[in-house]
Amino acid sequence: MAESVIKDNAHIIEYYSREDIINELLKQSKNKEVGICFNMKYYGQRPDVLSNAQDIITLAKAGATSFHISQETWSDPFLLQTNNSKKEMDQIRTGWDLIFDIDTDDIEYSKICAHFIIKKLNEFGISSTAKFSGGNGVHIGVVYESFPKIFNGQKMNFLFPEVPRIIINFIREDMRAEFTNYFLKNYDIEKIVNNIKENLFNDLKDFSKVENKLKLNYYKNGFFDPFSIIKVDTVLVASRHLYRMLYSVNEKTGLVSIPIDINNILNFDKNMAKIENIELNNILFLNRNVKEGCAINLLVQSYDFQIKNMIAEEEKRKTLINRQRNIPKIPEEYFSPCMKCILKGMSDGKKRSLFIMQNYLSNIGWTKEDTELLFNDWNDKHDEPLRPTYIKTHLNYHDKQKDKKLPPNCDNKTYYVDMGICKPDNLCQKIKNPVSYTIRKANTFIEEFEKKSKKNKTQK
């Protein structure tokens, strides 16, 4: 965990002992699972709840510095277990709130993103509320009551995290053009990107974070992509995922998560969130006084968007497969960086490498015989080679399979990153799979082969 700026808990205890703060925390936590962080060192046992004022005061005196709640509401949070099946979770989930979790290194960018999300939700007739995360982020909330109780023949409380993820993806893409244009008109994009890269090594405690940012592609289809520096993740939309409660302290900054007026979000100032400045007002977060089912139009359009995307992806996949059927054997010079790393030899992960390479080669025109020769040469490079019979068995099994399978996608960290073979170049930023990389890189080579094939057929 990152280091806490809180050195003395006395003012934290005093803050959480305020009657108005206690009442707000209790009101929010009703039927929610609560997670309690103790000075950023560890979390208390889960599931947990806040039952009364004395609970909060006692926890604060015991070192509690922040409180976090679930997006979901439960009939009884204490029924939650780590081994609950989805069916069991569905039965005790009574609802959920849609939370847009905006995260970036600069609060100014978060405010702009929040402004456009709120604007887009307004276009669909949806009332939303916002709060400061206490760090550099903003949370946008749409209450469960905004959604119909039944959708596509299913109870809405069963449709988590499916519905929130689909909506977030849709809103993000629907606002992309206007959001991007705003950045292009109001910011020096090159300066933004350079500043990010220059500041990467200020804190080397988390080198994985530095490494991930170095691999970021800040452009999409030739245009600056604001979502490369601002995250509105659906990964965090998961069952039992917790987010910081309204009026909870952020240990990393010492600031408080406070509500923001959505009509004045661009003028929000972090100084408003200092503990000594906290005064409750009439600005609400997750205001449940909304027209029930008002989000139906957003739901329909979000699902339509997802279906169109799925159809488009399937068409791309079919096109790729059809092209691969007639593809020539692509030389090693066109291999992706990760495959070239594997071919140098592996101290660990040889069996995983064999699996990846087999699926990769079968999709770029390599026959079983070609693959076997390559594998044998590769195996000789190892201090502890795989048994030849293992390779033979692997090849025979794969040869019997009717359908070709692609190797894992590039974002599958279990393979490329964890194995230490993810060494991306500029082309890697534009593709999702090593096979796509090679076909794209070898495009001229493939086109020449196809021309020769057509010419030979014509002559015959």
Which of the listed residues 276, 306, 336 is the one where a domain comes to its end? 306
Instruction: Confirm if 441 and 340 have CB atoms less than 8 A apart.
Output: no
Tell me: do 451 and 402 sit in the same domain: yes
Share of the chain above pLDDT 90, in %: 62
Using DSSP, state whether 242 is helix, strand or coil: strand
**Structural domains of the chain, count:** 2
**Dihedrals φ, ψ of 435, to 5°?**
-65, -45
pLDDT band (50, 70, 90) for residue 9? confident
Identify whether 317 is part of a domain. no
Tell me: do 368 and 224 sit in the same domain: no
Give CA–CA dist 171/254, Å, rounded: 32
pLDDT for the residue numbered 215: 47
pLDDT for the residue numbered 418: 80
Identify whether 321 is part of a domain. no
Which of the listed residues 306, 339, 370 is the one where a domain comes to its end? 306
Tell me: do 240 and 366 sit in the same domain: no
Identify whether 109 is part of a domain. yes
Identify whether 4 is part of a domain. no
Identify whether 222 is part of a domain. yes
The dihedral through the CA atoms of 427, 431, 437, 442 has a sign that is negative
Residues 42-53 have a mean pLDDT of: 94
Which of the listed residues 275, 306, 337 is the one where a domain comes to its end? 306
Residue type, 156: M
Least confident among 17-31, 126-140, 186-200, 445-459: 445-459
pLDDT for the residue numbered 34: 98
- How many degrees, rounded to 5, is the angle at CA 30 between CA 24 and CA 31? 160
Least confident among 18-22, 214-218, 369-373: 214-218
Lookup: tokens for 49: 């709840």
- In sequence order, what are the residues at sequence separation of 6 or more whose Cβ sits closer than 8 angstroms to the Cβ of residue 398? 358, 359, 362, 368
> Peptide bond preceding 226: is omega within 30 degrees of 0, i.e. cis?
no
Average pLDDT, the chain: 88
CB neighbours of residue 174 within 10 Å: 19
Considering only residues 403 and 136, tell me which one the structure prediction assigns the higher pLDDT: 136
> Peptide bond preceding 161: is omega within 30 degrees of 0, i.e. cis?
yes
> Helices 350-362 and 368-379 meet at what angle, rounded to 10?
150
Tell me: do 350 and 246 sit in the same domain: no
Residues 404-431 have a mean pLDDT of: 84
Give CA–CA dist 311/93, Å, rounded: 32
Alpha helices in 380-442 (DSSP H): 388-400, 434-441
pLDDT band (50, 70, 90) for residue 457? low
Identify whether 354 is part of a domain. yes
Tell me: do 49 and 119 sit in the same domain: yes
Identify whether 315 is part of a domain. no
Residues 335-351 have a mean pLDDT of: 92
Percentages of the chain per state (helix, strand, coil), in multiples of 5: 50, 15, 40
Considering only residues 71 and 443, tell me which one the structure prediction assigns the higher pLDDT: 71
Identify whether 406 is part of a domain. yes
> For residue 193, what are the CA distances in angstroms to 179, 213, 399?
17, 11, 47
Residues 301-315 have a mean pLDDT of: 89
| CATH number for the domain that contains residue 275 | 3.90.920.10
pLDDT band (50, 70, 90) for residue 87? very high
Per-residue pLDDT for 171 more than 90? yes
Tell me: do 124 and 65 sit in the same domain: yes
Tell me: do 67 and 211 sit in the same domain: yes
- In sequence order, what are the residues at sequence separation of 6 or more whose Cβ sits closer than 8 angstroms to the Cβ of residue 122? 128
Lookup: tokens for 224: 């600056």
- In sequence order, what are the residues at sequence separation of 6 or more whose Cβ sits closer than 8 angstroms to the Cβ of residue 442? 330, 331, 334, 364
The dihedral through the CA atoms of 415, 421, 422, 424 has a sign that is negative
User: What is the pTM assigned to this prediction?
Assistant: 0.72
Tell me: do 331 and 295 sit in the same domain: no
Tell me: do 236 and 369 sit in the same domain: no
The residue range of the domain holding 225 is 10-79+87-306
pLDDT for the residue numbered 401: 79
Tell me: do 299 and 331 sit in the same domain: no
Give CA–CA dist 43/37, Å, rounded: 4
Tell me: do 40 and 93 sit in the same domain: yes
Tell me: do 205 and 120 sit in the same domain: yes
Closest CA to 192 of 112, 99, 306: 112
Residues 125-133 have a mean pLDDT of: 97
